[in-house]
Amino acid sequence: MKPTAPTPSTFRLWLDLARAGNFPSVWSNVLAALILSGAGADAWPSIDGIILTFLAGSLAYAGGTTLNDVFDAGFDRKHRPERAIPRGQISRGTAGWVGGLQLASGLGLLVWLNASPWAAAGLAATILGYNWLHKRWTGSVILMAGCRVMLAVTIATLPGHYFQPIFVGWITVLFIYIVVLSLLARREYHPGAPTEKLGKLVRKMLAFIPFVDAVALLVITAWIPALISALTVPLGKWAQRKAASG
Protein backbone atom coordinates (compact mmCIF):
# COMPACT_ATOMS: atom_id res chain seq x y z
CA MET A 1 0.00 0.00 0.00
CA LYS A 2 1.31 3.45 -0.95
CA PRO A 3 2.00 5.56 2.16
CA THR A 4 -0.29 8.57 2.64
CA ALA A 5 1.43 11.95 2.46
CA PRO A 6 1.22 13.89 5.74
CA THR A 7 -1.42 16.61 5.85
CA PRO A 8 0.16 20.08 6.02
CA SER A 9 -0.64 22.21 9.06
CA THR A 10 -3.11 25.07 8.65
CA PHE A 11 -0.26 27.55 9.14
CA ARG A 12 1.73 25.91 6.34
CA LEU A 13 -1.31 26.03 4.05
CA TRP A 14 -1.63 29.79 4.55
CA LEU A 15 2.11 30.22 3.93
CA ASP A 16 1.68 28.30 0.68
CA LEU A 17 -1.23 30.52 -0.39
CA ALA A 18 0.91 33.57 0.41
CA ARG A 19 3.83 32.15 -1.66
CA ALA A 20 5.99 32.80 1.40
CA GLY A 21 8.92 31.24 -0.43
CA ASN A 22 9.11 34.49 -2.42
CA PHE A 23 9.10 36.84 0.59
CA PRO A 24 12.91 37.30 0.60
CA SER A 25 12.81 38.70 -2.94
CA VAL A 26 10.00 41.07 -1.88
CA TRP A 27 12.13 42.28 1.06
CA SER A 28 15.03 42.85 -1.29
CA ASN A 29 12.80 44.88 -3.64
CA VAL A 30 11.55 46.95 -0.71
CA LEU A 31 15.10 47.64 0.53
CA ALA A 32 16.25 48.62 -2.95
CA ALA A 33 13.25 50.93 -3.38
CA LEU A 34 13.98 52.64 -0.06
CA ILE A 35 17.68 53.18 -0.84
CA LEU A 36 17.45 53.99 -4.55
CA SER A 37 14.67 56.55 -4.05
CA GLY A 38 16.26 57.95 -0.89
CA ALA A 39 19.04 60.39 -0.13
CA GLY A 40 21.86 58.09 -1.24
CA ALA A 41 23.99 55.15 -0.22
CA ASP A 42 24.95 56.64 3.15
CA ALA A 43 21.45 57.73 4.18
CA TRP A 44 19.69 54.69 5.57
CA PRO A 45 16.00 54.84 6.49
CA SER A 46 15.21 54.28 10.16
CA ILE A 47 15.08 50.69 11.37
CA ASP A 48 11.41 51.17 12.23
CA GLY A 49 10.76 52.43 8.70
CA ILE A 50 12.54 49.46 7.14
CA ILE A 51 10.66 46.93 9.29
CA LEU A 52 7.27 48.53 8.61
CA THR A 53 7.82 48.74 4.85
CA PHE A 54 9.03 45.12 4.82
CA LEU A 55 5.82 44.17 6.65
CA ALA A 56 3.67 46.24 4.28
CA GLY A 57 5.30 44.70 1.21
CA SER A 58 4.92 41.19 2.60
CA LEU A 59 1.23 41.72 3.42
CA ALA A 60 0.49 43.20 -0.01
CA TYR A 61 2.30 40.31 -1.70
CA ALA A 62 0.58 37.69 0.48
CA GLY A 63 -2.81 39.25 -0.22
CA GLY A 64 -2.21 39.33 -3.94
CA THR A 65 -1.09 35.70 -4.16
CA THR A 66 -3.84 34.42 -1.86
CA LEU A 67 -6.42 36.21 -4.00
CA ASN A 68 -4.71 34.74 -7.06
CA ASP A 69 -5.64 31.26 -5.83
CA VAL A 70 -9.19 32.48 -5.17
CA PHE A 71 -9.52 33.77 -8.74
CA ASP A 72 -7.88 30.60 -10.15
CA ALA A 73 -9.86 28.03 -8.15
CA GLY A 74 -11.59 26.63 -11.25
CA PHE A 75 -8.35 26.37 -13.23
CA ASP A 76 -6.51 24.81 -10.29
CA ARG A 77 -9.12 22.07 -9.91
CA LYS A 78 -7.97 20.78 -13.31
CA HIS A 79 -4.30 21.74 -13.41
CA ARG A 80 -3.14 22.26 -9.80
CA PRO A 81 -5.37 19.96 -7.73
CA GLU A 82 -2.69 19.72 -5.04
CA ARG A 83 -3.34 23.31 -3.94
CA ALA A 84 -5.23 24.05 -0.75
CA ILE A 85 -8.48 25.40 -2.24
CA PRO A 86 -9.09 22.60 -4.79
CA ARG A 87 -8.34 20.02 -2.08
CA GLY A 88 -10.90 21.63 0.22
CA GLN A 89 -8.30 22.33 2.93
CA ILE A 90 -9.16 26.03 2.86
CA SER A 91 -12.47 27.30 1.53
CA ARG A 92 -12.49 29.73 -1.37
CA GLY A 93 -14.59 32.19 0.64
CA THR A 94 -12.26 32.16 3.64
CA ALA A 95 -9.23 32.62 1.39
CA GLY A 96 -10.97 35.55 -0.29
CA TRP A 97 -11.61 37.31 3.02
CA VAL A 98 -8.09 36.66 4.34
CA GLY A 99 -6.42 37.69 1.08
CA GLY A 100 -8.48 40.86 0.90
CA LEU A 101 -7.58 41.71 4.51
CA GLN A 102 -3.88 41.07 3.88
CA LEU A 103 -3.87 43.28 0.79
CA ALA A 104 -5.81 46.07 2.50
CA SER A 105 -3.55 45.90 5.56
CA GLY A 106 -0.37 46.13 3.49
CA LEU A 107 -1.63 49.08 1.44
CA GLY A 108 -3.12 50.73 4.51
CA LEU A 109 0.22 50.49 6.30
CA LEU A 110 1.99 52.16 3.38
CA VAL A 111 -0.56 54.99 3.39
CA TRP A 112 -0.21 55.28 7.19
CA LEU A 113 3.53 55.74 6.59
CA ASN A 114 2.50 58.67 4.32
CA ALA A 115 2.91 57.02 0.94
CA SER A 116 0.65 58.41 -1.76
CA PRO A 117 -2.89 56.98 -1.51
CA TRP A 118 -3.08 57.25 -5.31
CA ALA A 119 0.04 55.12 -5.75
CA ALA A 120 -1.32 52.58 -3.24
CA ALA A 121 -4.62 52.49 -5.12
CA GLY A 122 -2.67 51.95 -8.36
CA LEU A 123 -0.85 49.03 -6.75
CA ALA A 124 -4.17 47.52 -5.63
CA ALA A 125 -5.66 47.93 -9.11
CA THR A 126 -2.61 46.31 -10.72
CA ILE A 127 -2.73 43.31 -8.37
CA LEU A 128 -6.47 42.79 -8.78
CA GLY A 129 -6.30 43.39 -12.52
CA TYR A 130 -3.58 40.78 -12.89
CA ASN A 131 -5.49 38.23 -10.83
CA TRP A 132 -8.60 38.76 -12.94
CA LEU A 133 -6.94 38.78 -16.36
CA HIS A 134 -3.88 36.56 -16.20
CA LYS A 135 -5.64 33.37 -17.34
CA ARG A 136 -7.52 35.30 -20.04
CA TRP A 137 -4.85 37.56 -21.56
CA THR A 138 -1.22 36.79 -22.39
CA GLY A 139 -0.42 40.48 -22.05
CA SER A 140 -1.19 40.25 -18.35
CA VAL A 141 2.52 39.53 -17.86
CA ILE A 142 2.81 43.33 -18.02
CA LEU A 143 0.53 43.56 -15.00
CA MET A 144 2.51 40.85 -13.22
CA ALA A 145 5.70 42.89 -13.58
CA GLY A 146 3.71 45.99 -12.75
CA CYS A 147 2.84 44.60 -9.31
CA ARG A 148 6.45 44.70 -8.11
CA VAL A 149 7.13 47.96 -9.91
CA MET A 150 4.07 49.63 -8.39
CA LEU A 151 5.15 48.48 -4.92
CA ALA A 152 8.49 50.21 -5.51
CA VAL A 153 6.76 53.30 -6.93
CA THR A 154 4.49 53.49 -3.88
CA ILE A 155 7.52 53.29 -1.58
CA ALA A 156 9.18 56.06 -3.59
CA THR A 157 6.28 58.38 -2.65
CA LEU A 158 7.16 58.16 1.04
CA PRO A 159 8.35 61.44 2.61
CA GLY A 160 11.97 62.18 1.72
CA HIS A 161 11.98 59.85 -1.30
CA TYR A 162 12.19 60.81 -4.97
CA PHE A 163 12.04 59.35 -8.49
CA GLN A 164 15.75 59.60 -9.17
CA PRO A 165 17.34 58.37 -12.43
CA ILE A 166 18.88 55.30 -10.77
CA PHE A 167 15.49 54.40 -9.31
CA VAL A 168 13.78 54.70 -12.72
CA GLY A 169 16.53 52.63 -14.36
CA TRP A 170 16.23 49.94 -11.70
CA ILE A 171 12.45 49.55 -11.96
CA THR A 172 12.76 49.41 -15.77
CA VAL A 173 15.21 46.49 -15.59
CA LEU A 174 13.11 44.84 -12.87
CA PHE A 175 10.02 45.18 -15.06
CA ILE A 176 11.73 43.52 -18.06
CA TYR A 177 13.14 40.70 -15.90
CA ILE A 178 9.73 39.82 -14.45
CA VAL A 179 8.01 40.00 -17.85
CA VAL A 180 10.48 37.40 -19.14
CA LEU A 181 10.02 35.29 -16.01
CA SER A 182 6.23 35.46 -16.34
CA LEU A 183 6.28 34.47 -20.01
CA LEU A 184 8.32 31.38 -19.10
CA ALA A 185 5.89 30.56 -16.28
CA ARG A 186 2.96 30.69 -18.70
CA ARG A 187 4.64 28.12 -20.95
CA GLU A 188 4.45 25.51 -18.16
CA TYR A 189 0.84 24.78 -19.13
CA HIS A 190 1.32 24.60 -22.91
CA PRO A 191 0.74 21.11 -24.36
CA GLY A 192 4.05 19.32 -24.74
CA ALA A 193 6.00 21.87 -22.71
CA PRO A 194 8.78 20.52 -20.43
CA THR A 195 6.77 21.41 -17.31
CA GLU A 196 9.25 20.21 -14.71
CA LYS A 197 12.22 21.90 -16.38
CA LEU A 198 10.35 25.18 -16.82
CA GLY A 199 9.10 25.04 -13.23
CA LYS A 200 12.66 24.74 -11.91
CA LEU A 201 13.81 27.61 -14.14
CA VAL A 202 10.96 29.85 -12.98
CA ARG A 203 11.66 29.12 -9.31
CA LYS A 204 15.34 29.86 -9.85
CA MET A 205 14.56 33.16 -11.58
CA LEU A 206 12.20 34.10 -8.75
CA ALA A 207 14.95 33.46 -6.22
CA PHE A 208 17.44 35.50 -8.27
CA ILE A 209 15.28 38.66 -8.48
CA PRO A 210 17.39 40.24 -5.68
CA PHE A 211 20.44 40.23 -7.98
CA VAL A 212 18.69 42.90 -10.06
CA ASP A 213 18.37 44.93 -6.85
CA ALA A 214 21.97 44.25 -5.83
CA VAL A 215 23.40 45.44 -9.15
CA ALA A 216 21.42 48.69 -8.99
CA LEU A 217 22.58 49.27 -5.40
CA LEU A 218 26.21 48.67 -6.43
CA VAL A 219 25.86 51.42 -9.06
CA ILE A 220 25.43 53.96 -6.25
CA THR A 221 28.07 52.15 -4.13
CA ALA A 222 25.53 51.10 -1.52
CA TRP A 223 27.70 48.13 -0.58
CA ILE A 224 25.90 46.91 2.53
CA PRO A 225 22.37 47.03 1.03
CA ALA A 226 23.74 45.31 -2.10
CA LEU A 227 25.25 42.55 0.05
CA ILE A 228 21.97 42.14 1.94
CA SER A 229 20.08 41.83 -1.36
CA ALA A 230 22.57 39.25 -2.63
CA LEU A 231 22.19 37.24 0.59
CA THR A 232 18.43 37.03 0.10
CA VAL A 233 19.06 34.75 -2.91
CA PRO A 234 20.15 31.73 -0.82
CA LEU A 235 17.55 32.74 1.77
CA GLY A 236 14.92 32.68 -0.99
CA LYS A 237 16.02 29.25 -2.18
CA TRP A 238 15.72 27.94 1.38
CA ALA A 239 12.31 29.56 1.78
CA GLN A 240 11.11 28.00 -1.50
CA ARG A 241 11.90 24.56 -0.07
CA LYS A 242 9.85 25.36 3.04
CA ALA A 243 6.84 27.08 1.44
CA ALA A 244 5.22 27.26 -1.99
CA SER A 245 6.58 29.81 -4.42
CA GLY A 246 4.92 29.04 -7.74
Structure confidence by residue, pLDDT tens digits, 127-156:
999 999 988 888 899 999 999 999 999 999
Please determine, looking at this structure, whether the domain spanning 11-242 carries the CATH number 1.10.600: yes
Note the pLDDT of residue 197: 76
Contact (Cβ atoms closer than 8 angstroms) between residue 19 and residue 26: no
- Phi and psi for 215 in degrees, rounded to 5? -65, -45
Structure confidence by residue, pLDDT tens digits, 50-60:
999 999 999 99
Q: Which is higher by pLDDT, 123 or 13?
A: 123
- Structural domain boundaries of the chain? 11-242
User: What is the SS3 assignment for 170?
Assistant: helix
DSSP state of 68: H
Question: What is the separation of C-alpha 203 from the centre of its chain, rounded to a whole number of angstroms?
Answer: 13
45 to each of 41, 152, 155, 199, how far by Cα in Å?
10, 15, 12, 36
Contact (Cβ atoms closer than 8 angstroms) between residue 177 and residue 209: yes
Note the pLDDT of residue 119: 98
Residue 36 confidence class, pLDDT cut points 50, 70, 90: very high
Contact (Cβ atoms closer than 8 angstroms) between residue 14 and residue 212: no
Whether 186 shows a pLDDT value over 80: the answer reads: no
Whether 165 shows a pLDDT value over 60: the answer reads: yes
Note the pLDDT of residue 227: 96
Note the pLDDT of residue 212: 95
First to last CA, the chain: 30
Distance between CA atoms of residues 153 and 173, nearest Å: 14
pTM: 0.89
Q: Which is higher by pLDDT, 172 or 47?
A: 172
